[in-house]
Structure 1
Amino acid sequence: MFVWFCIVACASAACLVDAGMVKAGQPHQVPVNGSKVLRAAHFALVEFNKANIEEQFAYKTVKITSANIQIVSGINYILKMLLARTRCKKIFTDDGVSCVFHSEPKELQCLFVVSEIPWEGSRVLSKNKCFPYNY
């Protein structure tokens, strides 16, 4: 089963490259609501909350503002996201999805790169840069 998944994943990427839709190494814009983008965004949010040790409250996604994929030796999901602090403490949640936003707003504009190698089952947050969001 795993072998078939690897074959399908590689073939899908190869078809996109062969069709001229995506050039290997070149970022390509994709819809922000695609299932793979949403999965990568959720992963990035969870990893961000784990790494953000100076904050006791979890953040959750307000909006994915842009999404690109890049075919390299795997797939990079390059995501720009707006996050906001919630009322939930991180010890109780890792993604803040079911939490309400904090009464003292704190929003961040983030650039995340999630690097995935589907045939190895590996995924890492290879870039995590966030800045205060100015309205």
Structure 2
Amino acid sequence: MASLNIPSLPLLAALALILVLPVRAVTSASAEAAQMAVGRVEPADLNDEEVQKVINFAAKTYNDMNNDLYFSKPIQVMSASQQVVAGMNFYLKIKFGRTTCTKAQSDLADCPFNEQSDQQKRVICNFQISTVPWMNKMSVTNFNCPRT
């Protein structure tokens, strides 16, 4: 009669498999989801502080690289996406406009856009910017302003 109270070995093995398989499947699915996020290009949040730093860096790069006497600033961020790599890649499409301030001026924060039709200069530029936040590194890996 004592043998009725002890489950058989095959029954114990089947019970163990039933308990282990769902846990393993959930763990595997979570790992796959996390791995898929790395390397995937996704929309960037324009309100995010890091994204704003990258946009400002792109604007500084644009002003440093062009030979215009006047300071330009973003009119509109037309698109922004990001990609997790060994750091982050940001892909930006920004429409710039010429301001009334020369680059030689010290306070460029409140420069209004130049509204005179013969002085307006609008340009759309594409940037790829790589960042490594924990090393405080940011660099432009690709930059172009195609003529329209």
TM-score with structure 1 setting the length: 0.74
Unaligned runs of 5+ in 1: 1-16
Count of residue pairs brought into register by the alignment: 115
Partner SS for 1:38: helix
The equivalent of 2:26 in structure 1 is none
Is 59-68 or 118-127 further displaced after alignment? 118-127
Report the CA distance shift for 1:67/1:18 in structure 2 as closer, same or farther (over 3 A): farther
Structure with bigger gyration radius: 2
Partner residue in 2 for 1:128 = 143
1:25 aligns to 2:39 (yes or no): yes
Aligned AA (2:104) = I
Q: Which residue does the alignment assign to 1:58?
A: 71
The structure 1 residue matched to 2:80, chosen from 67, 72, 77, is 67
Percent identical pairs in the alignment equals 27
Correspondence 1:93-108 to 2 at 5 A: 96-102=108-114, 103=116, 104-108=119-123
Secondary structure at 1:42 match in 2: helix
**What RMSD in Å do the two structures reach over aligned CA positions?**
2.4
Point out where structure 2 has 5 or more consecutive residues left out of the alignment.
Answer: 1-30
Question: Which stretch of structure 1 is more off in the superposition, 81-90 or 20-29?
Answer: 20-29
| Closer/same/farther in 2, CA of residues 97 and 61 from structure 1, 3 Å limit | farther
**What is the aligned partner in structure 2 of residue 84 from structure 1?**
97
SS state of the match for residue 80, structure 2?
strand
Q: Are the equivalent residues in 2 in contact too, given 1:32–1:66 (CA < 8 A)?
A: no
| RCO comparison, higher one (Cα < 8 Å, 6+) | 1
Superposition misfits of 4+ residues, deviation over 4 angstroms: 17-22
Which structure shows the higher helix fraction? Answer: 2
Q: 1:99 to 1:21 in 2, by over 3 A?
A: farther
Go from structure 1 to structure 2 and tell me whether the alpha carbon gap of 1:107 and 1:70 turns closer, same or farther (over 3 Å shift). Answer: same
